[in-house]
Amino acid sequence: MTGATPVAEGSRSPARARVLAAVVLTVVVGVALLLATGREPELRLVGAEPGGDAPLRTAPTSVSLTFSDDLSAVAAHLSVAGPDGRPVSRGAPTVDGRRLAVSTVDGGPGRYRLAYHLSLTDGSEVTGSGEFVVGTAAAPAPAPADSAGHQHLRRDGWNLALALVDLVLVLGALVALLPAGRRRRPARGGGPARR
């Protein structure tokens, strides 16, 4: 005899069962997350009034922004500052379908700047800024494509994949921390004597 103790065929089955259960649970939760949070179209700015690169002859009485979808905003902010940096927007902005608008007063000739911020019902946020010119001041330089706004907390493939990796790591750590099974302790006192 070599002194090796034979291992029973089913002695590791509880540990394997726990690992298998954790893997199955991870896959089920991952698939459920992917199905429940399918990619939603991103809300983006598609138009602004006043718009264009040409200077306006007179200051507008309102500024409005049009988005790619209806606004389901919990909070909406739109502010316009005149050439001197002072606010020319008056009152709270209004939301009507895909449109966000605010009334303005004349701030004189020059470059006007606007900024918007939307907190949406799904928890994401959309922000951006722009400008327009009234009078003979130099027209604003065309804005780069991504300065039209950006979003936070998007539900895209990368975020979902990283969340799934996190879930797998947490479940793996929990499985590793589980006891490996009951260890047999020698009987005390009245048990059979060992030879």
User: Taking Cα atoms as reference points, which of 151, 145, 152, 120 lies closest to residue 130?
Assistant: 145
C-alpha angle 102-103-105 in degrees, rounded to nearest 5: 135
Q: What is the pLDDT of residues 14-23, one digit of tens each?
A: 777 777 777 7
- Note the pLDDT of residue 18: 78
- Note the pLDDT of residue 147: 45
pTM for the whole structure:
0.54
DSSP string, 56-116: BSS--SEEEEEESS---EEEEEEEEE-TTS-B-EEEEEEEETTEEEEEE----SEEEEEEE
- Note the pLDDT of residue 40: 55
* 76-84: average pLDDT: 94
Q: What is the pLDDT of residues 1-36, one digit of tens each?
A: 555 555 555 455 777 777 777 778 877 777 777 666
Cα separations (Å) of 180 from 5, 8, 88, 183? Answer: 19, 16, 69, 8
Sequence-distant (6+) residues with CB within 8 A of 13 are none
| Residue 117 near residue 73 (C-beta atoms within 8 A) | no
pLDDT, greater one: 98 or 173: 98
- Note the pLDDT of residue 47: 92
* 72-78: average pLDDT: 88
Cα separations (Å) of 168 from 16, 18, 30, 164, 183? Answer: 16, 14, 9, 6, 28
Sequence spans of domains, the chain: 45-152
Of the CATH numbers 2.60.40.1220, 1.10.1370.40, 3.40.50.300, 3.30.420.10, which one belongs to the domain with range 45-152? 2.60.40.1220
Distance CA 148, CA 128 (A): 5
Residue-averaged pLDDT of the chain: 77
At CB < 8 A and 24+ separation, what contacts does 167-175 make? Answer: 167/26, 167/29, 167/30, 168/26, 171/22, 171/25, 171/26, 172/22, 174/22, 175/18, 175/19, 175/22
- Note the pLDDT of residue 98: 92
Q: What is the pLDDT of residues 43-73, one digit of tens each?
A: 889 999 998 778 999 999 999 999 998 888 8
Q: What is the pLDDT of residues 110-157, one digit of tens each?
A: 999 999 999 888 888 889 999 999 988 554 555 544 444 445 555 556
pLDDT, greater one: 120 or 90: 90
3-state helix, strand, coil split of the chain in percent (to 5) is 25, 30, 45
For residue 110, count CB atoms less than 10 angstroms from its CB and return exposed for 0-12, middle for 13-18, buried for 19 or more: middle
